[in-house]
Structure formats: C-alpha cells, structure tokens
C-alpha cells in the first residue's frame, strides 16, 4: 500500500501523526535541558543529512530544482521546520500541553480559511463539520472544561507563540501544492537543505548575543539516543509520510489529521502503563468521528441504464 492510493495516504498521515505524538512525549523533557532553538538545529542537522542522501539516491535532478527555487524553499523551510519547532516548544515550556494540543488542532480551520481567502475555494460543509468535531474532541482530551487553573501572562505568551508556530506549518503545507514537479521526498529534503544554513546562523547569533545557552558536548552525548530517534522517525519518516499524504488528499484534509497528535500521545502513554481517563477516551472517539466524516466519500448514484449502455436518450 502506497500513499498514491486514498487508503495508503490515510495510513501515511496516521503514521505521521503517531510519530509526532512520540516527538512531544520524548521532546518535551529534552527541551527542559536543551534550548528549543538548539534542539531544532541538532534535530534538523541530523535529519537533513539523511534527507540529502535519500534525495540524491531517489530524486529526479533534485539539486537543479533546489537552485531554481532556493528562495522559496528557504522561506517555507524556515517556516515549517524552524519557526514551527522553535515556537511550539517554547510555547509548551511557558504554557500547558492541554492548551498546546487545542491550538495545534486549529490548523485545519486556518488551512480552510486561507484556502478560501487566498484561493477562492469555499470549504464544503462536511469538511468544516469534521474539523469542528475533531477540535471538540481535542478540547475534550485536554479537559479544558474541567480545568480550573488560572491563566497568567506567561501562559498567554506561550499560547501565542504556539499559535504563531502553527502558522508556519500551515504555510509550509500549502506551498507543497505549488511545486507539482517535486516528489514528497524532494519537497521534504530540499526545503530542509535550504533552511538549515539560516537556521544555524540564527541559532549561533542568538547564542553569541547571550539570548540562549549553547549545549555542552556532554549533554549532547547523553541525549544522543533520543535525538537520533527524533531525527529519523518524527522528523524524516513522519515528514515524508505527511507530505505524501497531503499530495494525495490535499492540505485541508492533511492538516485535519494533526488532531490525531494528542490522541497518539494518549495511546503512547497507555502503552507505557498510564491508563487513559474517561475524557481522553471520549475525546479520541470524537476526533475519530470527525476524521471519518471528512475522509468518507459518498458513493455516487448509479448512472441511468441508457447511459451505462452508451445509448442516447430519446427526447420528445
């Protein structure tokens, strides 16, 4: 099964969101020791090396495409990789994971709104209803209605940073449709290659300016197994699967699957021995129902017998 089929594309998107769920489980403790900017740089330094090799082996003149679209790839790569990762993990440090999961779940609405505003494509009612149902499911998973904690200024700042980061990924996803000559592998790899030097420059400048702390070699060595896993699975494999699914199903439906990220986090915690709560089970069911409503395609009505036989109806 490949992402060229509808079922394969759905499976690819589910794999990507599950892998990103593991990123939040493993990455959040790492960013308590490693600044999000350095975390992002090390993550994409490892991932880009692997992606470049894959593009060289399986791409169709990838470096010529990189030269033609260098500026575009740099900008969308910085938005989808750098801006998204740095701001979302900074936001999670200041706010609560429950807030972040709901903000992540607004991306389908952002994608639908941008498509309507910029492309003039009004979203079908079924897509809006499915996105709303999935968003309600994520809010249920986060137990927002039962949350009684106070929201302070730092939490609001964290939520604002997370929201800004999601815009970077939405724009990155939308841009893929504008490069039909790029395979999912080429788009994933070339945007990473183009963005990496600017991401490195920004991180080094921020470090020299005293805004962030550089990690010690001992810390990087201690975190090497986790960083290696993050580079291969939630970064390379998940990005390839997500871009392949989006190529087949479109950006609005692809971003809707991001509602599965908090659900996959629940599943991973269950595997680790943490039983899910009732609100988490109910929220996961709502997310699944919202996805099913959106990806389900009504069966077309059968054609009239005359049309099936190729005859021309008689008119009077």
The tens digit of pLDDT for each residue in 17-63 reads 888 888 888 887 888 899 999 999 999 999 999 999 999 999 999 99
The tens digit of pLDDT for each residue in 151-162 reads 567 777 887 888
| Residue 228 in tokens | 């290696």
Q: Can you give the pLDDT at residue 99?
A: 64
- What H or E segment, with its residue span, contains residue 134? helix 125-142
- Whole-Å CA distances, 43 to 18, 70, 228: 18, 21, 8
Q: Can you give the pLDDT at residue 249?
A: 86
Q: For the residues 171-195, what does the mean pLDDT come to?
A: 91
Name the CA radius of gyration of the chain, rounded. Answer: 21
Contact 279, 140 (CB under 8 A): yes
- Whole-Å CA distances, 279 to 110, 135, 141, 235: 26, 14, 6, 30
Q: String of b and e for 34-45 (b: at least 16 CB within 10 Å)? A: bbbbbbbbbbbe
Q: Can you give the pLDDT at residue 230?
A: 94
Rounded CA-CA distance 108/275 in Å is 29
Rounded CA-CA distance 170/237 in Å is 19
> If we measure between CA atoms, which residue out of 238, 229, 257 comes closest to residue 184?
238
- What H or E segment, with its residue span, contains residue 77? helix 70-77
Rounded CA-CA distance 218/52 in Å is 27
Q: Can you give the pLDDT at residue 87?
A: 92
How distant is the alpha carbon of residue 281 from its chain centre?
Answer: 22
Q: Can you give the pLDDT at residue 57?
A: 94
Using 50, 70 and 90 to split pLDDT, how confident is the model at 139? Answer: confident
> If we measure between CA atoms, which residue out of 143, 85, 101 comes closest to residue 260?
101
The tens digit of pLDDT for each residue in 63-104 reads 999 999 999 999 999 999 999 989 988 887 887 665 666 677
The tens digit of pLDDT for each residue in 256-283 reads 787 777 777 777 777 877 777 777 677 7
Tell whether the model's pLDDT for residue 200 goes beyond 60: yes
The tens digit of pLDDT for each residue in 281-315 reads 777 777 777 767 766 655 444 445 544 444 444 43
Residue with the two structure tokens 């089929």? 5
Rounded CA-CA distance 124/71 in Å is 34
The tens digit of pLDDT for each residue in 211-260 reads 999 999 999 999 999 999 999 999 999 999 999 998 888 877 787 787 77
Name the residue ranges covered by the structural domains of the chain. 17-295
Strand, coil or helix: what is 182?
coil
Residue with the two structure tokens 């996961």? 284
| Residue 206 in tokens | 């921020």
């Amino acid at each position: 099964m490949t992402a060229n089929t509808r079922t394969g594309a759905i499976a690819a998107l589910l794999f990507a969101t599950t892998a990103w769920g593991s990123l939040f489980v493993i990455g959040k403790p790492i960013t308590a020791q490693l600044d999000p900017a350095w975390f992002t740089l090390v993550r994409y330094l490892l991932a880009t090396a692997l992606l470049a090799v894959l593009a060289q082996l399986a791409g169709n003149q990838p470096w010529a495409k990189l030269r033609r679209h260098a500026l575009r790839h740099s900008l969308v790569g910085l938005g989808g990789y750098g801006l998204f990762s740095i701001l979302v993990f900074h936001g999670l440090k200041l706010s609560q994971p429950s807030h972040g999961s709901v903000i992540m779940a607004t991306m389908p609405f952002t994608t639908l709104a941008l498509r309507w505003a910029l492309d003039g494509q009004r979203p079908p009612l079924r897509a809006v209803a499915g996105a709303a149902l999935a968003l309600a499911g994520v809010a249920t998973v986060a137990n927002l209605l039962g949350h009684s904690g106070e929201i302070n200024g730092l939490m609001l700042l964290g939520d604002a940073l997370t929201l800004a980061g999601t815009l970077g990924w939405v724009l990155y996803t939308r841009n893929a449709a504008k490069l039909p000559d790029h395979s999912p592998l080429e788009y994933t790899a070339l945007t990473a290659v183009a963005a990496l030097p600017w991401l490195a420059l920004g991180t080094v400048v921020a470090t020299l300016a005293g805004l962030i702390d550089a990690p010690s070699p001992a810390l990087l060595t201690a975190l090497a197994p986790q960083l290696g896993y993050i580079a291969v699975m939630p970064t390379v494999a998940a990005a390839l699967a997500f871009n392949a699914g989006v190529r087949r199903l479109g950006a609005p439906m692809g971003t809707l699957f991001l509602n599965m990220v908090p659900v996959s986090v629940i599943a991973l915690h269950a595997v680790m021995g943490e039983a899910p709560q009732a609100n988490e089970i109910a929220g996961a069911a709502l997310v699944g129902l919202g996805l099913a409503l959106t990806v389900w395609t009504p069966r077309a009505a059968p054609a009239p017998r005359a049309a099936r036989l190729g005859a021309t109806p008689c008119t009077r």
